[in-house]
Structure 1
């Protein structure tokens, strides 16, 4: 007789033993599962926080954003009240998330920051063809194109021209140019001879030269197209590398032909067209005379002064002291009476008037030349 036959268990005993063993094995699993459920009920879901931030940015900026995720192991107690989201600083690079009451007694309140990158559309430089190492970039090699995203990195935008720079390594066709694609050598443009101030610059006045970027001015011009057609601001010695400060664009603007008194309605003979350098224009001038003629001078304008928008105003529809029509409109009837305007006004302005005959003071809104609608 062997051991098993000697200690043979009955059917009921075997069922009891199997149930006991199952209970012992299942207990840790049940404890683990219940622990996870309990933790999930008391911890804040990270994805929910990201969704709140995305919705907030969309409402505030109308753009989408990339959110730098939290550490996946970071445990945040569940918020029991609405979570507050805002931009804490004077930029859109950081979002603050805070909870006024959480499920944790140790940290009843919490607040932290998330780094975000809002999607933007920028004009950046893109290659038209594949470029080899040491290639001198010309205007035919690149074009400005719209780049939409949030990972701009070192992308060259329209503020930094790659023309006149050399490639550091091969760049593929239709590739977005980055600062790291360019070598330290640049092509600059130097004057052949002395150029006097006020000279209109042309290509035959300049010669190219290759220099190390460290030896060149930070504002040196590498694109010849940014020089030709502009005017020298100073006397430029022979051999000087042209910088942004050395040249200025020019444009034609309208100037006063003679002294113009305050309140004068401008006519064509009051102005003349002439060239002025961009840096001389503190405010934009007019290139179209139709935007000047018929306007009224707000103050005295001296002969030769550039005509700008802040010097002019539109003519008044109602003049102080003039007789105007004051109208009252009902459902089926419009009544009008004469009144004297007590101030000047343009369309939409509120103007006080004195009703002729009665001498009563009323207020109306200018709706046309010499016509006001009574304010009740």
Structure 2
């Protein structure tokens, strides 16, 4: 009788273990559901702004696809293409960049502010920059080179030298 009970409990434990493994495998499949990727509907050339109508979302079925692809429209929409993006191919996050806030050669306002004193002057950035970049700027009136931080409003806050 004891032997039969032991065999019965062993069988029940094996059945419970099999059911647990089955459920766990099913949960893993749900957790590892196919991701979505952003792909272009048309050719997008370098320097072109990526717009929503140019893109679509698709399920990724190829397990060998590169892993740094954009998985949501927010990662790509409004960005600038750094290289040609082809239709039907995933968009690597590294192939797009933020739009420049200031562009090399344009005229921007340089702002110097310290102890209540504020001085503004027209300047020309020596390179492209996005918000937060520290770049060199040439004063249009005097030709003096200064460095400053690109601000969100397109001005350059000049650093004290």
TM-score, length basis structure 2: 0.78
Q: d(CA) in 2 for partners of 1:300 and 1:313? A: 13
Is residue 111 of structure 2 the alignment partner of residue 327 of structure 1?
yes
Q: d(CA) in 2 for partners of 1:334 and 1:138? A: 75
Is residue 122 of structure 2 the alignment partner of residue 338 of structure 1?
yes
Q: Which residue of 2 aligns with 1:78?
A: none
Q: Pick one of 75, 79, 82 that aligns with 1:298.
A: 82
| Cα RMSD after superposing both structures | 2.5
How far residue 255 of structure 1 moved from its aligned partner, in angstroms, is 0.1
Q: d(CA) in 1 for partners of 2:52 and 2:126? A: 32
User: Residues 242-281 of structure 1: matches in 2 within 5 Å?
Assistant: 249-277=33-61, 279-281=63-65
How far residue 225 of structure 1 moved from its aligned partner, in angstroms, is 5.3
Q: d(CA) in 1 for partners of 2:63 and 2:103? A: 39
Is residue 25 of structure 2 the alignment partner of residue 223 of structure 1?
yes
| Higher alpha-carbon Rg | 1
Q: d(CA) in 2 for partners of 1:253 and 1:275? A: 6
Structure showing greater relative contact order (alpha-carbon pairs closer than 8 Å, 6 or more residues apart): 2
Q: Which residue of 1 aligns with 2:4?
A: none
How far residue 306 of structure 1 moved from its aligned partner, in angstroms, is 0.6
How far residue 303 of structure 1 moved from its aligned partner, in angstroms, is 2.0
Gaps spanning 5+ residues in structure 2: where? 1-7
Q: d(CA) in 2 for partners of 1:225 and 1:374? A: 56
Q: Which residue of 2 aligns with 1:317?
A: 101
Cα pair distance change 1:351/1:225, threshold 3 Å: closer
Q: d(CA) in 1 for partners of 2:123 and 2:56? A: 41
Q: Pick one of 141, 149, 160 that aligns with 1:357.
A: 141
How far residue 343 of structure 1 moved from its aligned partner, in angstroms, is 0.1
Q: Which residue of 1 aligns with 2:132?
A: 348
| Structure 1 contact 286–307 (Cα < 8 Å) conserved | yes
Q: Which residue of 1 aligns with 2:10?
A: 133
| Structure 2 contact 131–150 (Cα < 8 Å) conserved | yes
| Structure 2 contact 75–93 (Cα < 8 Å) conserved | no
Q: d(CA) in 2 for partners of 1:315 and 1:224? A: 44
Cα pair distance change 1:338/1:276, threshold 3 Å: same
Gaps spanning 5+ residues in structure 1: where? 1-130, 142-162, 165-221, 230-247
| Structure 1 contact 259–300 (Cα < 8 Å) conserved | yes
> SS state of the match for residue 277, structure 1?
coil
How far residue 316 of structure 1 moved from its aligned partner, in angstroms, is 1.4
Q: Which residue of 2 aligns with 1:173?
A: none
TM-score, length basis structure 1: 0.36
Q: Which residue of 2 aligns with 1:195?
A: none
Q: Which residue of 2 aligns with 1:286?
A: 70
